[in-house]
Amino acid sequence: MAAKERTRTERDSMGPMEVPADAYYGASTQRAVLNFPISGLRFPPSFIRVLGLIKLAAARVNAELGLLDRRLAAAIEQTAQEMADGKHDAQFVVDIFQTGSGTSTNMNANEVIANRAGEILAGDRGSKLVHPNDQVNLGQSSNDVIPTAIHLAALEAIEKRLIPALEGLREALLAKSKEFWGIVKTGRTHLQDATPVRLGQEFLGYAGQVERGIRRLRRAQEELAEVALGGTAVGTGINTHPEFAKRVCAELSKLLGVTVRETDNHFQAQATLDGVVQASGSLRTVAVSLNKIANDIRWMGSGPRAGLGELALPEVQPGSSIMPGKVNPVIAESLIQACAQVIANDAATVQAGLGSYFELNLMMPLAGHNLLQAIELLAAAAASFDERCLRGVQATDKGPEMVDKGLMLATALAPAIGYDTAAEVAKEAARSGRTIREVAREKTGLSEAELDRLLDPEKMTEPGLS
């Protein structure tokens, strides 16, 4: 029979509660653990880190404003820094599917900090030498702290994880564009042959998608930098110093290395998750872009004999448990799956945005979880695709070899012989299996020199009329 877990008695406004003896959290957190045995999902360390920094900055500002004893503030700051450094991650035990305001997680932080700060001041856990509400949560409410933490955790993760990964991917795509610029192949529209295109132009297009994705994320960061802190319960700022939020935002800007600013309209900041929804939409767009890039490269590398075979992708692992020698585009597939999950995350975040009623959104933990997971997935998958696939992609001879057989070379003949005649040339070439040049030589009055000039594949990759 297992030994009974040692506990201690803590109290909150609802009365006594037994909590694990070695836990820093208290009664309110333990109630949430018992109330929400739902998924096992927790807020990620990136969120806990920022939540710790908010508590640190709040204690510092409250001490400067003369609202908090400096000795207590110093202990709170020390503990909050430990929290930001990840030393207390195991103490954050509340499920994502909890109270919609995230109050349980805010109290989880308040109790951990209060008990650890009390310990620093030579008190016992549960002694309330440092009070979780009166002192750690001074000037704050879950209703403004949790959306602020979501915004700032996403802002930091985009800045330090996702944008660097996308910048690396963009540079790798630009390098491949230059490497492949001299390779002319058949373009494709509707999965059918189209006019010639440079392989380098296709990769330039991919780089352009990533570049614009970064721009969209920068705009999302502008939304996320505006935070709800200072609005407390319903946006009115009750029980907080008028200078509190502005000063805390200045401290957070220093701590995070990104600009953080108090909203100029607290009522919208707490009553909605519009900024989070907008940021999630930007992530979804990036996911759609990366899905297109990964799929194109995967298709161009298909084969190697019965597919398109225009690219040779790095061989990173055996592709089949039954077919010897088979190699699959697994890195591209990994990215595609991550993109699918990010799109699903966005759908959940939109639903969370719909959970705004009167003065508060009631699906904040769900939104935070999905937004932060989406950022991490995109960052990790994009970096992996860059390192393990894109850098090793090589062009084969298959693309250029097929250009002369392309039926849409007839497009270049249209200015000289007219659309209808060019269409007849293309159809005859398709029926007979001959090339456009061979049929045009027979069916039109164009000279060999004129055919050379009109059917130059490289010229077809540039603007202009033949």
Query: What are the pLDDT digits (tens) for 339-385?
Result: 999 999 999 999 999 999 999 999 999 999 999 999 999 999 999 99
Average pLDDT score over residue span 230-237: 98
Say yes or no: 366 and 244 in one domain.
yes
Per DSSP, helices labelled H in 354-408 are 364-388, 398-403
190 domain residue, yes or no: no
| Catalytic position from the list 190, 266, 280, 356 | 190
| Catalytic position from the list 46, 302, 320, 321 | 320
pLDDT of residue 5: 82
CB 237 within 8 A of CB 266: yes
pLDDT by residue (tens digit) across 297-346?
Answer: 999 999 999 999 999 999 999 988 999 999 999 999 999 999 999 999 99
We report the CATH number of the domain holding residue 326 as 1.20.200.10
Strand ranges inside 102-174, DSSP E: none
Say yes or no: 112 and 259 in one domain.
no
Average pLDDT score over residue span 199-212: 98
389 domain residue, yes or no: yes
pLDDT of residue 465: 75
Say yes or no: 387 and 418 in one domain.
no
Cα 324 to chain centroid distance, Å, stands at 37
**Cα–Cα distances in Å, from 102 out to 108, 122, 431?**
10, 30, 67
25 domain residue, yes or no: yes
Number of domains in the chain: 3
pLDDT of residue 466: 56
77 domain residue, yes or no: yes
Domain assignment of residue 23, given as a range = 17-138
Q: Does the pLDDT at position 1 exceed 80?
A: no
We report the CATH number of the domain holding residue 120 as 1.10.275.10
Q: Does the pLDDT at position 57 exceed 60?
A: yes
1 domain residue, yes or no: no
96 domain residue, yes or no: yes
| Residue 320 appears among annotated catalytic residues | yes
pLDDT by residue (tens digit) across 398-441?
Answer: 999 999 999 999 999 999 999 999 999 999 999 999 999 999 99
Q: Does the pLDDT at position 4 exceed 90?
A: no
Say yes or no: 168 and 128 in one domain.
no
Residue tagged 């309209």 (tokens): 265
Predicted structure pTM score = 0.95
pLDDT by residue (tens digit) across 73-118?
Answer: 999 999 999 999 999 999 999 999 999 999 999 999 999 999 999 9
Average pLDDT score over residue span 171-181: 98
